[in-house]
Amino acid sequence: MRTCGIGRSAPRRRRGLKFAIAAGGTGGHIYPALSVARALAGQAVVFVGTRGGPEAEIVPRHGYPLRTIPARKMDRRLGPGALWSLAVSAGGVLAAIRLLRGERPGAVLGTGGYVAAPTLLAARLLRIPCAILEADAVPGRANRLLGRLVDRVFVAQAAAATWFPPRRVEVTGLPIRPEIGQGDGARFRQRHALAPERPLLFVFGGSQGAVRLNRAVLAALPELVAAGVQVVHQTGPRNYEAVRAAVPDPPPGYVPLPYLDDMADALAAADLVLCRAGSGTIAELTAAGRPAILVPLPTAVWDHQTHNARAMAEAGAALIVRDAELDGARLAAECVPLLRDTARLQRMAAASRALARPDAAQRIAAALVAMAGGARPLDSSVTRCAA
């Protein structure tokens, strides 16, 4: 493989390196990037994003500088030249070239969002070592193309490795907040007046909630409560008032919340989780060692959530219910027997934790430092796909 070596003298010292991370569009792209940035402690990190994306608020709030370039969605009707034609026409590559020449990073990482393609193409043109992070089991079109150009491809799930040149791929897991696997379940139950001895179902549909999950929970609630099941229901901010209107007098043990700031504690408290199957969700479930009922989002590109869910299901850590099949009756039929079977829940929890890769951010950070010439390459403990 031709190395995307830098066109100037690459930095060779362990300290004083600089890295650029292109991430934007959604929290699923931004938060793993922030985890990698934290793992690059002692090194300078600059983020590349857009002015109108959530990264414009999130990244500075976490203490990192953000540089912006123009970027927008790729037209899917175009062929393999779409990345180049779109980025050049929007001025993204030229802006990224100017930015990288000014910042002079030792390596560039793209974690996703429209900003990643022009930034990585600029890095390639400048011969700066570059890498991508693929979070899902099935990569999107942009990463499939970028995977042929970059030096390294970090994948969260082994299933994604088959889409990329084998010599460039490393299965690292998905970087997440380290506190996710260190929650205090007893503290969470006490905070929300939940009985310590009764089973707890934790329901969440991502930061914005999920209408299908909300409806199923409301329909199943009488049967769940009658069976002694407690429910913490993260509705999403936009759906909270509708849920409260449907349950104006919540029964004991039912806790509807618009949003959760203490996700680590909630996961630690839960006996079972009902949720979607985004890559970040899967990574957090396994870090916390939680069994789950996964309802993949049917509109996800390339149906990647179904593929994400299969890894947990095949390991015995989760059940999969199709979105179209989820209603109150199905939810109660799945949850009540499972929550009564503590031995099975324990097996599922152990299987979930066995899938965790808590050092994903550290592995990616070590690889980036090595790419920039500041340290030796990753050791053999990193799962590498054979050529």
Looking at residue 383, its pLDDT comes to 37
pLDDT at 40 over 50: yes
Same structural domain for residues 311 and 374?
no
Contact yes or no for 156/283 (Cβ under 8 A)? yes
Measured between alpha carbons, how far apart are the two ends of the chain, in Å?
12
- 9 inside domain: no
Dist. CA 222–CA 368, nearest whole Å: 52
> String of b and e for 288-305 (b: at least 16 CB within 10 Å)?
bbbbbbbbbbeebeeebb
Is pLDDT at 372 greater than 70 in this prediction? yes
Do 23 and 166 have their domain in common? yes
- Evaluate whether residue 310 is within a structural domain: yes
Do residues 318 and 366 share a domain? no
Task: Give the pLDDT score at 205.
Answer: 86
- Is residue 95 domain-shared with residue 149, that is, in the same domain? yes
pLDDT at 10: 36
Q: Do 323 and 188 have their domain in common?
A: yes
**Contact at 8 Å (CB) between 68 and 53?**
no
> How many CB atoms within 10 Å of residue 355?
19
Domain limits for position 305: 179-354
6 within domain boundaries = no
Residue 1's pLDDT is what? 38
Give the CB-side neighbour count of residue 132, counting CA atoms within 13 A. 32
pLDDT at 201 over 60: yes
Q: How confident is the model at residue 210 (pLDDT cuts 50, 70, 90)?
A: confident
| Number of domains comprising the chain | 2
Residue 309, both tokens: 């869910």
Looking at residue 91, what is its pLDDT?
A: 85
**251 conformational bin, left if phi > 0, alpha if psi -120 to 50, beta if neither:** beta
Which of residues 375 and 156 earns the better pLDDT score? 156
pLDDT digits (tens, 9 = 90+) for 305-335: 999 999 999 999 999 999 999 999 999 999 9
Same structural domain, 251 and 345: yes
| pLDDT > 90? residue 141 | no
d(CA 145, CA 78): 13
Greater pLDDT, 142 or 314: 314
Residues 345 and 196 in one domain: yes
The per-residue pLDDT for range 50-109, each reduced to its tens digit, is 999 999 999 999 999 999 998 876 555 545 555 555 544 468 899 999 999 999 999 999
- Same domain? 141 vs 93: yes
pLDDT, mean over the chain: 89
Is residue 8 situated within a structural domain? no
Counting residues of the chain whose pLDDT is more than 70, the rounded percentage is 87
pLDDT at 246: 96
**Greatest extent of the chain over all pairs of C-alpha atoms, in Å:** 69
Report if residue 11 sits inside a domain: no
**Taking 70 as the threshold, does the pLDDT of residue 14 lie above it?**
no
Segment 333-358, tens digit of pLDDT: 999 999 999 999 999 999 999 999 99
Q: Is the domain of 233 the same as that of 128?
A: no
CB 217 within 8 A of CB 240: no
| Residue 120 and residue 68 share a domain | yes
Is residue 380 pLDDT above 70, yes or no? Answer: no
In a domain, residue 12? The reply is no
SS (H, E, C) the chain: CCCCCCCCCCCCCCCCCEEEEEECCCHHHHHHHHHHHHHCCCCEEEEEECCCCCHHHHHHHCCCCEEECCCCCCCCCCCCCHHHHHHHHCCHHHHHHHHHHHHCCCEEEEEECCCHHHHHHHHHHCCCCEEEEECCCCCCHHHHHHCCCCCEEEECCHHHHHHCCHHHEEECCCCCCHHHHHCCHHHHHHHCCCCCCCCEEEEECCCCCCHHHHHHHHHHHHHHHHCCCEEEEECCCCCHHHHHHHCCCCCCCEEEECCCCCHHHHHHHCCEEEECCCHHHHHHHHHHCCCEEECCCCCCHHHHHHHHHHHHHHCCCEEECCHHHCCHHHHHHHHHHHHHCHHHHHHHHHHHHHCCCCCHHHHHHHHHHHHCCCCCCCCCCCEECCC
Share of the chain above pLDDT 90, in %: 79
Looking at the domain assignment, is residue 3 inside a domain? no
The answer to whether residue 10 sits within a structural domain is: no
How far, in Å, CA of 30 to CA of 115, rounded?
11
For the cut 90, the answer to whether the pLDDT of residue 385 exceeds it is no
Question: Counting Cβ atoms within 10 Å, is residue 202 exposed (0-12), middle (13-18) or buried (19+)?
Answer: buried
Same domain, 261 and 150: no
- Whether residue 13 is predicted with pLDDT greater than 70 in this model: the reply is no
Q: What is the pLDDT of residue 386?
A: 34
**For residue 25, what is the domain's CATH number?**
3.40.50.2000
Q: What is the pLDDT of residue 261?
A: 87
* pLDDT for residue 11: 36
pLDDT, tens digit (0-9, with 9 covering 90-100), for 103-139: 999 999 999 998 999 999 999 999 999 999 999 999 9
Bridge partners for 49 per DSSP: 68
**272 pairs with which residues across the strands?**
201
Residue 91 CA to residue 101 CA, distance in Å, equals: 16
Co-location of 208 and 103 in the same domain: no
- Residue showing tokens 């491809």: 153
Q: What is the pTM of this model?
A: 0.84
Distance CA 32, CA 357 (A): 13
For the CA atoms of 312, 314, 316, 318, the dihedral, rounded to the nearest 10 degrees, stands at 40
